[in-house]
Amino acid sequence: MINHHLHTFIQVADSGSFLKASEKMYVSANAITKQINLLEQHLELKLFKRSKQGLTLTDAGELIYDETKKMIRHSNSVLKKAHELENSSDTVIRVGVSLMNPASILMDIWEKAAGGHQNIHLEVVPYEDSVPVFTEILNNLGNNIDVIACLYENSYWGDKYRSFLLCNLPVCIACSKYHPLASKKLLTINDLKGQNVIIRKRGLSQNIDQIHNEFDSHPDIHRLETATLDYNTFNKLASSKDLILSYECWNSVHPLLTTIPVDWDYKSPYGLIYSKDPSDELLKFILAIGNAAS
Name the phi and psi angles at 269, rounded to 5.
-70, 140
Structure-model confidence comparison of residues 72 and 200, the more confident one: 200
Structure-model confidence comparison of residues 138 and 74, the more confident one: 138
CA–CA separation, 100 vs 62, rounded Å? 73
Mean pLDDT of 212-239: 93
Question: Crossing angle for the helix pair 280-293 and 104-113, nearest 10 degrees?
Answer: 90
Query: For residue 163, what is the enclosing H or E element?
Result: strand 162-170
Residues 44 and 159 in one domain: no
Could you tell me the maximum CA-CA distance found in the chain, to the nearest angstrom? 106
CA–CA separation, 196 vs 190, rounded Å? 13
Band the pLDDT of 197: cuts 50, 70, 90: very high
What does pTM read for this prediction? Answer: 0.66
Of 50, 65, 87, which one is at a domain's C-terminal end?
87
Name the phi and psi angles at 227, rounded to 5.
-80, -40
Band the pLDDT of 172: cuts 50, 70, 90: very high
Of 70, 87, 104, which one is at a domain's C-terminal end?
87
Find the domain containing 16 and state its range: 4-87
Residues 102 and 145 in one domain: yes
Residues 176 and 257 in one domain: yes
Query: For residue 293, what is the enclosing H or E element?
Result: helix 280-293
Looking at residue 90, its pLDDT comes to 80
Number of domains in the chain: 3
The proportion of the chain whose per-residue pLDDT surpasses 90, expressed as a percent, equals 57
Residue 118: half-sphere exposure toward Cβ, Cα within 13 Å: 5
Residues 23 and 77 in one domain: yes
Residues 116 and 247 in one domain: no
Looking at residue 76, its pLDDT comes to 81
Query: For residue 272, what is the enclosing H or E element?
Result: strand 267-274
Residues 163 and 274 in one domain: yes
Reading across the β-sheet that carries 222-226, which strands appear in turn?
222-226, 196-200, 243-246, 172-176, 257-260
Of 87, 118, 137, which one is at a domain's C-terminal end?
87
Q: For residue range 7-56, list pLDDT tens digits in order.
A: 888 888 888 888 888 888 888 888 889 988 998 898 898 999 988 878 89
Residues 123 and 178 in one domain: no
CB of 183 within 8 A of CB of 160? no
Residues 260 and 192 in one domain: yes
Query: For residue 148, what is the enclosing H or E element?
Result: strand 147-151
Count Cβ atoms below 10 Å from residue 250 Cβ, excluding itself: 21
Query: For residue 274, what is the enclosing H or E element?
Result: strand 267-274
Residue type, 4: H
Q: For residue range 59-68, list pLDDT tens digits in order.
A: 998 998 888 8
Residues 97 and 83 in one domain: no
Residues 28 and 163 in one domain: no
CB of 162 within 8 A of CB of 148? no
Which residues is 102 bridged to in the sheet? none
Q: Residue 251 sits in a domain of what CATH number?
A: 3.40.190.290
Residues 141 and 256 in one domain: no
CA–CA separation, 75 vs 63, rounded Å? 18
CA–CA separation, 91 vs 253, rounded Å? 30
